[in-house]
A and B are shown apart, each in its own frame.
Chain A
Amino acid sequence: MQPPSIAELLACFLARDLNDGEELQVGIALPIPEAAVRLAHLMHGPNMELIFLGARMNVHHLHHLPLPAFGWDNRVVRWTESFSDRGHRFDQVKDWHRRVFFVGGLQVDPHGNTNLIGVGEDYQRLRFRGPGSVGTPTLTTHVGRYYIVLNSHTPRIFVPRCDFVSTVGWGDGGADARTRLGLPGGGPRYCITPLCVMDFTEDDKRLRLKSLHPGVTLDQVRAQTGFELVVPDEIPITEAPSEAELHFLRTRVDVDGALRKLG
């Protein structure tokens, strides 16, 4: 079998971290999280509820789900059992502690705060105008946990301070950072990139290297991160997908090989 691409590796890593019974909400243009939730649903999460485009579904019984295909394809509503979000989105955020979510970002700071608004010092004259926050501020305020998932790992993304913050991770730092702001959700759990997996230190809630992907060196990660990363004494290699995971991923989730094309 062809060895896993980095995107496949990350999808399998994420899938293992998702638990049966959870609600998994994935926005558009997030292929790795989308593949991960579908893989987890098939392999160990028959009671998971998947939420795509506001449509809630359980598709465990399907041999394979061709849609959504990593983007905005409304045909996904064919599998909908209910529209929790249609016309009254956000009316039940009190129950979002069992919901899991995923965010990307133009910038990420050492405490996992992220930015989808834009890059530049002056908001009126941004150097790069981003897409905007979508629903990420509200979701990350309330969900039980979320993952920061990035398609590249560079010093322009990992910055000491975001120009603008659209989602609060651990604010100014500290285990009580979110409590102080009155944010009930559990905050970001991991930040994953094509180079490594990071978690947060228990006390200061600062980004810490958790594992390196096969073939990636610590020096490489340091050079590509615009601030000092907490580095533990021992750094494991990100666990490779099992044969079963890769088989399920390639034959029932990502049949067209989109994650292999991503690299």
Chain B
Amino acid sequence: MTMRTERLLDEDSASAWLVSGMTVAIGEPTPMALVRQIVRRGLKDLTVIGSGLALDLLIAAGCVRKTISYYAGGGFGVPVAPMFRRAAERGEIEVWECEEGILTSGLEAAGKGLPFLPWRGGVGTSLPVINPDLKLFTDPVNGETLLAVPAIRPDVALLHAAQADAYGNVQHHGGPGWIDLFLQRAATRCIVQVEKIVPNEVIRANPWATTIGRADAVVRLPWGAHPWYSRGWYVQDSALLQEYVTAATAAAERQAPEALQRFLDFYCREPASHADYLERVGLKRLLALHEY
């Protein structure tokens, strides 16, 4: 008797897919539990497609060699992500400068199996000057000047969603994040961490709600986006985000790395599991973040 293969993995098996040197894409809402696993496992030389806290945390932990960067700031209470800023200014990371339209064009080229896709946003700017991989060209149809954006192929996309069944059918609450489906289509493999696993019947009751039909792995990690939000489940933990910003700013601007190292140890390196992390955050604090 044959059986359909389940794609349900535990956090250790899923994060074992991640190895140093890979190109890792990080979605939004942010799959923080898997990001913390990267820090705990001490991966190096990653190329990261991501923004905000996840990107900054990985740079702080020394995991990043290169970032495909469209935005590193604002979203968590600082104009520019502190460790990203410091590492970029010192030349400690390579920045592949782009923007959202260029990034999605490169991801779409990968998904479509094309070497590049043309894009107009960025023509006339410094982007093709400071990123020579973006090439201005004359389009052969109308003779317009456009950008050729090379395919961007993540080895793995890490995403966070509301629910999935054991076979990799994923449903987001309130829609996926803006970039998630681009990342899934472009990546070689896609790992989705979810708030809960539901029976296949729940998926089939509303297949239009399935946003990703073939995740390579799903991992049950409730509260896994913390300290970020998870739509319909909990809001962001602003106090913890601020704790990171304060520690990272001290490390980046005042040569005082102790608080940042403590943060990385306490929240990322020492917990042996996601459940250990949640215990450190504390039940009262988590329950206070419930969205509804």
Contact = CB atoms under 8 A, between A and B. Distances in A.
The answer to whether A and B interact is yes
B240 interface: no
A86 B120 contact: no
Contacts of A164: 126, 130
A257 interface: no
B100 interface: yes
B97 interface: yes
Give the interface SS of chain B, mostly helix, strand, loop or mixed.
Answer: loop
B115 interface: no
Interface in A49-71: 53-54, 71
B126 A117 contact: yes
A216 interface: no
Interface residues of B, number: 54
Interface string B113-150: 00000011111111100100000000000001110000
Contact of A89 (B81, B85, B100, B124): B100
Contacts, number: 155
Contact of B73 (A127, A131, A138, A165): A131
Contacts of A75: 229, 235, 291
B79 A135 contact: no
B120 A132 contact: no
Nearest to B100: A135
Contact of A117 (B97, B121, B236): B97
A215 B191 CA distance: 58
A175 B88 CA distance: 37
B153 interface: no
Given A126-B88, A166-B127, A181-B123, A138 B181 contact: no
B52 to A, nearest CB: 8
Nearest to A140: B121
Interface residues on A, range: 35 or more
B249 to A, nearest CB: 14
Given A123-B130, A183-B120, A86 B178 contact: yes
B70 A134 contact: yes
A127 B125 contact: no
B60 to A, nearest CB: 15
A118 B38 CA distance: 29
A133 B127 contact: yes
A125 B130 CA distance: 12
A231 interface: no
A128 B101 contact: no
A168 B72 CA distance: 21
Interface stretch (A13-21, A38-46, A77-85, A195-203): A77-85
B106 interface: no
A117 B105 CA distance: 20
Given A123-B130, A129-B85, A137-B122, 15 more contacts: A71-B77, A72-B76, A73-B236, A80-B175, A86-B181, A89-B104, A90-B105, A131-B71, A135-B101, A137-B127, A138-B100, A138-B122, A166-B99, A168-B123, A168-B124
Interface of B: 29, 69-77, 79-81, 84-85, 88-89, 91, 97-102, 104-105, 119-127, 130, 144-146, 174-182, 211, 229, 231, 235-236, 291
List the 6 closest A-B pairs by CB distance, nearest first: A138-B121, A131-B73, A138-B101, A87-B181, A135-B100, A133-B99
Interface of A: 27-29, 53-54, 71-75, 77, 80, 83, 85-90, 115, 117-118, 123-139, 141-142, 164-168, 171, 181-184
18 contacts: A72-B75, A74-B236, A89-B104, A90-B104, A115-B126, A123-B130, A128-B85, A129-B80, A132-B97, A133-B70, A133-B127, A137-B101, A137-B122, A138-B122, A141-B120, A142-B120, A166-B99, A182-B146
